Amino acid sequence: MTTGVSKNSRHWLRLRLVILGLGFTAGFLLLVGRAVDLQVIQREHLLARAQREFMRQVELTPRRGIIFDRNQEELAVSLDTESVYARPLGITTPKQTGQMLSQALAMPEEQVVKRLKEERGFVWVARRINPDRAEAVRSLELAGVGLINEPRRFYPYSNLACHVLGFAGMDAKGLEGVEAQYDTVLRGQVSKVTSLRDALGRTIYLTPAAFTTLPEGHHVILTVDKRLQYQVEKILAATVAKYRAIGGQAVVMVPQTGEVLALASLPAFNPNVFGRFPKESYRNRVITDTFEPGSTFKMFVAAAALNTRKAAPHSQYFCENGEWGIGGRVIHDTHEYGMLSLSEIIKFSSNIGAAKVGMGVGAEELYNTFKNFGFGRPSEVDLPGESRGILRPYRSWRPVDLANICFGQGVAVTGLQLAQAVAAVANGGVLMRPYLVKAVVDQSGHLVRENQPQVVGRAMGEREAGQLTAMLLEVTQPGGTGTQARVDPFPVAGKTGTAQKLDPSGGYSQSDYMAIFAGFLPADNPKAVVLVVVDTPKGQHYGGVVAGPAWSSIARAALDTLGTQPPSQGAQMVRAAMPQPPARTQPARAQRRPVDPAPALAQGKMPDLRGLTLREVLRLAREQRLLIQVNGWGRVVTQSPEPGLILEPRQELRVDLQPAEGGA
Amino acid sequence: MAEAWNNNGNGASSKAAPLISDPWLLVSALALTAFGLVMVYSSSSALAGKRYLDSAHFFKHQLFHVLVGLGVMTWLASLDYERYRRWVWYALGGVLLALVLVLIPGIGHRAGGAARWLRLGIISVQPAELAKVALVLFLARYLAEHQAESKSLFKVFMPCLAVAGALVLPILAEPDLGMSLTLLSLTMVMLGVAGTRVTYLAVILAAAVPLLYRLVWLVPYRRDRVFAFLNPWEDPAGTGFQIIHSFLALGSGGFWGTGLGGSKQKLFYLPEPHTDFILAVLGEELGLWGLATVLALFLVLVWRGVQTALNARDLFGTYLALGCTLIVGLQAFVNAAVVMGMLPTKGLTLPFLSYGGSSIVTNFACVGLLLSVAGHQGRRA
């Protein structure tokens, strides 16, 4: 450097360099201070805010498990549908985006824009939309908007077994029936992928492949037989319609196990569109509603008398010629009877006789017997919302109360309790817990849990149960009240009930009755317990008249389903030719071999679907993205469009199914 | 020129190999690079996986440029810096040409609305990065040769400003305001250290106010950035988005961090996680200790640079060391301040850490020049 540079100048230059270094030091210390501020002092609220953004997201619910009937027919399935979500924080032009979205979704624009403007990390825009709209949204490729696979619950048979199945709501949460009771099982593990969602709203660490292996819930196999359930519903509906009743109940149970083969309640609803039905129709009256059992209760009075040895079937009672005053009240019989045996009291359904039998037994013993038959306590069936009924403690019974209870007044039972108690008679006195779910299996079909028949306790002695059965058999014999419930040639044991309904104003209604028939068959070797209750029939109100014929039809259908053959009558063996397997095995179906759909599909043509099962058709429709509409059950018999037509995506497909006819 | 204005370096370091003439300097630069490579991979893998279906895409590019940078550094360190004095005019001319070429549509490569890159075969160069080195070379030579008139307005202040202006104008036109301001502040600080009158600097700053008004206030996106800086929480979904997510990243990190790969903000919440805001991801994954370590490494680098400037055998060496230190130090400070919300968003990278080829090579070149100054204190080529 030139000599012009003075020593002084150099000195100042060095000083300024050091000052610069110190300045940098001060600056970097400031930065560290700020880092401490952000990372230590403000950490709490920053972290909370960060987590709010990427953690408070929607949980990915796995595909809900299938509900099968006892023969592995699908009653509730989950179909793949997509839902549109948005990440408002990532949308810079909510107006524009909203406009395009609303067009694609056919939704009001303001509604969409409003959602897009919400200050949240994640909002649903539209859920479980049809494939057309999903495709339209996808093709828009909007930033901050995405689609998620959200399976939708589909009940292929609409109303069928709606009260058993219940339904699952928007968030795939079971709200009623088995869907609710077995919700955690069906739903499976809700995967917490929520914190792994990136700013584009994509699910991180969940590669497309992971979507196909979306965790699925377990499948539930019911004890219900779909074909029987269908017939039970049909018969019950016809009866309810015939008598312009306000409702009805029907239950079919296996007495030895407690398995419920069919359970119907009217009014019903369609779980696919449950929102369109009144809330009232969701109620499974068989377990939620209680009613006075009326004369059906006499069989349990008789059971108490037999069990306590206070009476034998032939024990005689004076029935006061149809009118008997007790405790300031007068009890009537429909006919004037003099001396009747216990057996006849049941057969003719004498109120006075039943009251006298009950008084002979005594309040405490009666009460204990009723308790042992399951009254006044929940049956612990695997459905939600069960009522326990009303059975007041015997200490509070006045003599007139005791008399009334003996013909089913002043007690209240659910239909299922009544069916369960009748089943105990059929089962030699052993009370079984009723149940609707046979087993839970995982995705690969491995048994996760099997519900075994469960003994609740002994309600009466076996010998006495036999005696009672013999008495109940008389009910359907000529002269009895239940002759219309006969299922020839099978012997039927049962009891009619015609219970006056309680008037809301107090006292008993003179016009509204519950018509009941409860019983089992074949009486000598019980296979099925059937209960039919018709709520407030018009015109007729006797249990034997109103409920009896329906009971007979249902019982016959139940025996058909169970493959029960008439006892030892060779001429009746025609039915044996039918391929009616025992209930536990897969029913042999299909007389017609279905055509393999693959070649037609390869040519882009509608395959011949006839002969395919619902499950096969559903899978095919899913793969080909067809909008399917299903009618009936069994195998496909007709289809629209016809086979051979050119397939278009998202085409509508309508199939009618029918059960395979035996021997055809 | 002949005289070494400083004698203490004589002899002692003359025999040391230039590359390890200042181990502290070299080690801090390499440590920062190591941090950078790890963080580039961690912060960009999600983005790279999405864009290129190769989560190591950015990492591989960065590694390549680090290797190039190391080569450039070794080469520059091995030569006596006296030689670079002769390169000043070529460097200035070449850079100016490149800066103009960038602006010509068809030649300059546009990205994100700005034309900042030149495509040379398979590599693309950001001439503005190289302009920093060229400017420092020029200023070092000019200030060294005019030390006696350092207070002169016309002989020192104006010429230096004119050259800086010539480089800044095309950069402003790209547009790249951050880089322009960097070049101008670099010039100001060097002039200040050289001993120019404080009044000149003050006048220039005052003159810059209407200019900044024009360049910042009237350009919507820049004005938004200023507002976002002043109150980021006002508009968390819009202008404040970037800085808020930087805060959230740092806050989530806490003292120990969420662990490498544990950043959630990098998952597209934080724009540019591997470039301008890499420090936020580092703060989230490595926590306060990691962030403080990086800042400390930069401070070590700055102090070794100042030391090199103090110990240089001549004024050219002093100013060259100063300029190179400033290139790294100023930019590191500004970037960190932006990430922590202390300065408005500029679009500046963090030396040695941020992804970016030209930036990496330029910073290694600066270290190479510093090492050359440090390694040639006693003799001349």
Give pLDDT tens digits for A75-86.
998 877 788 888
* Chain B residues touching A43 at Cβ < 8 A: 251-252, 254
What is the arithmetic mean of pLDDT over A443-471? 90
* Chain B residues touching A200 at Cβ < 8 A: 268
* Chain A residues touching B3 at Cβ < 8 A: 1, 3
CA–CA gap between residue B117 and residue B11 (Å, rounded): 44
**Which one, of A390, A457, A471, A383, lies nearest residue A424 by Cα?**
A457
By the CB < 8 Å criterion, does A5 face chain B?
A: yes
Residues forming beta bridges with residue B340, ordered by sequence position: none
SS3 A170: coil
Residue from B55, B263, B291, B350 to probe the interface with A (highest A Cβ count within 10 Å): B291
Fold held by A58-158+188-217 = Penicillin-binding protein 2a (Domain 2) (3.90.1310)
- The residues of A annotated as belonging to the active site are 295
- Using CA atoms, how far residue A123 sits from A62, A96, A147, B245, in Å, is 19, 17, 12, 20
* Chain A residues touching B283 at Cβ < 8 A: 35, 38-39
The ipTM, to two decimals, is 0.89
CA–CA gap between residue A263 and residue A527 (Å, rounded): 16
Residue from B302, B326, B339, B343 to probe the interface with A (highest A Cβ count within 10 Å): B302
- Residue A217's pLDDT is what? 82
Domain spans of chain A? 2-41, 58-158+188-217, 227-562, 587-663
Are A58-158+188-217 and A227-562 in the same CATH fold? no
Record: contact B269-A88, CB cut-off 8 A: no
* Chain B residues touching A39 at Cβ < 8 A: 250-251, 253-255, 283, 287-288, 291
CA–CA gap between residue B332 and residue B329 (Å, rounded): 5
Amino acid identity of B358?
Answer: S
Q: Which two tokens stand for residue A234?
A: 């049909």
Q: How far is A161 from chain B (nearest CA, A)?
A: 47
Pick from A352-356, A575-579, B245-249 the range whose average pLDDT is largest: A352-356
- Residue B269's pLDDT is what? 63
Residues 6+ apart with CB under 8 A from B192: A16, B198, B201
Is A575 in contact with A565 (CB distance < 8 Å)? yes
- Residue A196's pLDDT is what? 43
Amino acid identity of B245?
Answer: H
By the CB < 8 Å criterion, does A7 face chain B?
A: no
Residues forming beta bridges with residue B117, ordered by sequence position: B109
Query: What is the pairing mode between strands A67-68 and A74-79?
Result: antiparallel
CATH number for the domain formed by residue range(s) A587-663:
3.30.10.20
- Residue B112's pLDDT is what? 60
* Chain A residues touching B315 at Cβ < 8 A: 1, 5
Q: What angle, rounded to 10 degrees, do the helices at B82-103 and B158-173 form? A: 40
CB atoms inside a 10 Å sphere around CB B347: 18
Is A640 in contact with A663 (CB distance < 8 Å)? no
Instruction: Classify residue B233 by its DSSP letter.
Output: G
CATH number for the domain formed by residue range(s) A227-562:
3.40.710.10
Q: Residue A172 — left, alpha, or beta (φ > 0 → left; ψ -120 to 50 → alpha)?
A: left
Is A130 in contact with A150 (CB distance < 8 Å)? no
CA–CA gap between residue A116 and residue B325 (Å, rounded): 48
- Residue A118's pLDDT is what? 74
Q: How far is A590 from chain B (nearest CA, A)?
A: 50
Record: contact A1-B314, CB cut-off 8 A: yes
Is A95 in contact with A113 (CB distance < 8 Å)? yes
Q: Which two tokens stand for residue B10?
A: 């004589």
Chain A 626-645, residues with CB within 8 Å of chain B CB atoms:
none
Record: contact B252-A88, CB cut-off 8 A: no
- Using CA atoms, how far residue A254 sits from A414, B233, B248, in Å, is 18, 68, 63
* Chain B residues touching A94 at Cβ < 8 A: none
Record: contact A50-B148, CB cut-off 8 A: no
* Phi then psi dihedrals of residue B243, to 5 deg: -70, -35
* Chain B residues touching A17 at Cβ < 8 A: 193, 306, 309-310, 318, 322
A242, with CB counted inside 10 A (0-12, 13-18, 19+), is middle
Please indicate, yes or no, whether the overall pTM of this predicted structure exceeds 0.95.
no
Is A397 in contact with A456 (CB distance < 8 Å)? no
Q: For residues A152 and B191, which has the higher predicted lDDT (pLDDT)? A: B191
Query: What is the pairing mode between strands A74-79 and A82-86?
Result: unpaired
Is B337 in contact with A31 (CB distance < 8 Å)? yes
A446, with CB counted inside 10 A (0-12, 13-18, 19+), is exposed
pLDDT in tens, chain B (381 residues): 434 444 444 444 444 567 778 899 999 999 999 999 999 988 887 777 767 778 888 899 899 999 999 999 999 999 999 999 999 999 999 999 999 888 887 777 766 666 677 777 667 788 889 999 999 999 999 999 988 888 888 888 999 999 999 999 999 888 888 889 899 999 999 999 998 888 888 888 888 788 777 777 777 777 776 766 666 666 655 556 778 888 888 888 888 888 887 777 666 567 678 888 899 989 989 999 999 999 999 999 999 999 999 999 999 999 999 999 999 999 999 999 989 988 887 778 899 999 988 899 999 999 999 999 999 887 554
A438, with CB counted inside 10 A (0-12, 13-18, 19+), is buried
CA–CA gap between residue B99 and residue B102 (Å, rounded): 5
Structure confidence by residue, pLDDT tens digits, A318-352:
998 888 988 888 888 888 898 999 999 999 999 99
Name the average pLDDT for chain A.
83
- Residue A585's pLDDT is what? 35
Record: contact B254-A92, CB cut-off 8 A: no
Residue from A11, A22, A31 to probe the interface with B (highest B Cβ count within 10 Å): A31
- Residue B10's pLDDT is what? 43
CA–CA gap between residue A482 and residue A480 (Å, rounded): 6
- Facing A40 at nearest CB: one of B148, B193, B288: B288
Chain A 43-102, residues with CB within 8 Å of chain B CB atoms:
43, 45-47, 49-50, 53-54, 88-92
Amino acid identity of B32?
Answer: L
- Residue B324's pLDDT is what? 96
CB atoms inside a 10 Å sphere around CB A200: 16
Is A260 in contact with A253 (CB distance < 8 Å)? yes
Q: For residues A289 and B343, which has the higher predicted lDDT (pLDDT)? A: A289
Residues forming beta bridges with residue A408, ordered by sequence position: none
Percent of chain A surpassing pLDDT 90:
47
Residues forming beta bridges with residue A191, ordered by sequence position: A60
- Residue A121's pLDDT is what? 64
Is B333 in contact with B38 (CB distance < 8 Å)? no
Strand order in the sheet with B123-125: B108-111, B114-120, B123-125
- Facing A21 at nearest CB: one of B241, B283, B302: B302
**Which one, of A130, A122, A127, A133, lies nearest residue A202 by Cα?**
A122
- Residue A378's pLDDT is what? 93
CA–CA gap between residue B165 and residue B168 (Å, rounded): 5
Residues forming beta bridges with residue A251, ordered by sequence position: A263, A531
- Using CA atoms, how far residue B230 sits from A42, A90, B280, in Å, is 18, 22, 19
CA–CA gap between residue A655 and residue A635 (Å, rounded): 9
Residues 6+ apart with CB under 8 A from A202: A146
- Facing A16 at nearest CB: one of B193, B252, B336: B193
Amino acid identity of B152?
Answer: S
**Which one, of A556, A555, A557, A534, lies nearest residue A546 by Cα?**
A534
- Residue A146's pLDDT is what? 80
What is the arithmetic mean of pLDDT over A396-406? 91
pLDDT at residue A629 greater than cutoff 80: no
Record: contact B192-A38, CB cut-off 8 A: no
H or E stretch covering A517: strand A508-521
Q: What angle, rounded to 10 degrees, do the helices at B315-339 and B177-194 form? A: 140
* Chain B residues touching A34 at Cβ < 8 A: 337, 340-342
Q: How far is A23 from chain B (nearest CA, A)?
A: 11
pLDDT band, residue A267 (cuts 50/70/90): very high
Is B65 in contact with B365 (CB distance < 8 Å)? no
Placement of tokens 């199939």 in the chain: A655
- Facing B306 at nearest CB: one of A21, A31, A91: A21
- Residue A111's pLDDT is what? 85
- Facing B337 at nearest CB: one of A31, A43, A90: A31
In the A/B pair of chains, how many CB contacts fall below 8 A? Answer: 153
- CA–centroid distance for A363 within its chain: 38
SS3 A246: coil
Record: contact B340-A31, CB cut-off 8 A: yes
pLDDT at residue A252 greater than cutoff 70: yes
By the CB < 8 Å criterion, does A106 face chain B?
A: no
**Which one, of B138, B132, B230, B149, lies nearest residue B184 by Cα?**
B132
Record: contact A17-B322, CB cut-off 8 A: yes
- Residue B50's pLDDT is what? 67
pLDDT at residue A441 greater than cutoff 70: yes
* Chain B residues touching A201 at Cβ < 8 A: none
- Facing B148 at nearest CB: one of A2, A20, A38: A2
Please tell me which residue of chain B has the smallest CA distance to A47: B252
- Residue B236's pLDDT is what? 59
Record: contact B5-A1, CB cut-off 8 A: yes
CA–CA gap between residue A533 and residue A324 (Å, rounded): 29
pLDDT at residue A438 greater than cutoff 80: yes
Placement of tokens 């034309």 in the chain: B115
CA–CA gap between residue A160 and residue A570 (Å, rounded): 36
Please tell me which residue of chain A has the smallest CA distance to B323: A17
Q: How far is B103 from chain A (nearest CA, A)?
A: 30
Query: What is the pairing mode between strands A316-318 and A339-341?
Result: antiparallel
CA–CA gap between residue B359 and residue B356 (Å, rounded): 5
pLDDT at residue A589 greater than cutoff 50: no
Structure confidence by residue, pLDDT tens digits, A189-238:
655 444 344 444 444 433 333 333 456 788 899 999 999 999 999 999 99
Q: What string of DSSP letters covers B30-60?
A: HHHHHHHHHHHHHHHHHHHHHHHS-TTHHHH
